[in-house]
Copies of this chain bind each other. A is one copy, B any other.
């Protein structure tokens, strides 16, 4: 906890408590130490701790009850596998019953140089852009911006809208199987659009995955840009 860093003490404390919960230090429904105890631990006034707790209550991470204490509301991190057969729908199997994909936006645009390079096409060629939001147990987990070559996948947005699944939409376009060619992972602060889509507070972190999927013949079919709410997931590689 440092002062005069441009980050308010109450926010630093809120971030640390949120991290402790995500890291398993406090189980769900467990009671948190009292305001006085936390204030002493962080070396601040009780009111400052109260600001931190208030922010986490607004986020839905904590619940405070007068006379009783403050309770943890949220669950552990979800685990996502990153590998050749990564698919959102399979990733959550066994961890939750209610995974859901929503089509946020779609449209057609021309490829910029980075995307064209990844997909192995010429810059300026037409692409279908599909923005998806994924939720588990009604909690937003990730937003993804997907690009598909328009020549081959001109109808894919409609299929996604109908099936709410990229895998199913690709199948409808004749791609029975596909695999992950590569994935790169970075982390950064969530921008305004991601914060809104994922219901995150300012200063929140996203894990940013960039990936290329290829069909059975090895032809690039999908360039994906996924932002995961960092305190709701962990990625596993194997």
Contacts and interface: CB of A to CB of B under 8 A. Distances in A.
Given A19-B189, A189-B15, A231-B188, A5 B201 contact: yes
Given A236-B184, A237-B182, A11 B19 contact: no
Interface string A192-220: 10000000011101110000000000000
Contacts of A15: 189
Given A6-B10, A7-B6, A11-B5, A207 B184 contact: no
A235 interface: yes
Nearest to A203: B7
Interface stretch (A31-39, A75-83, A127-135, A161-169): A75-83
Nearest to A191: B16
Contacts of A51: 6
The copy count of this chain in the complex is 2
Contacts of A238: 181-183
A59 to B, nearest CB: 12
A218 to B, nearest CB: 14
Contact of A236 (B185, B189, B203): B185
Nearest to A1: B192
Given A189-B15, A230-B187, A203 B235 contact: no
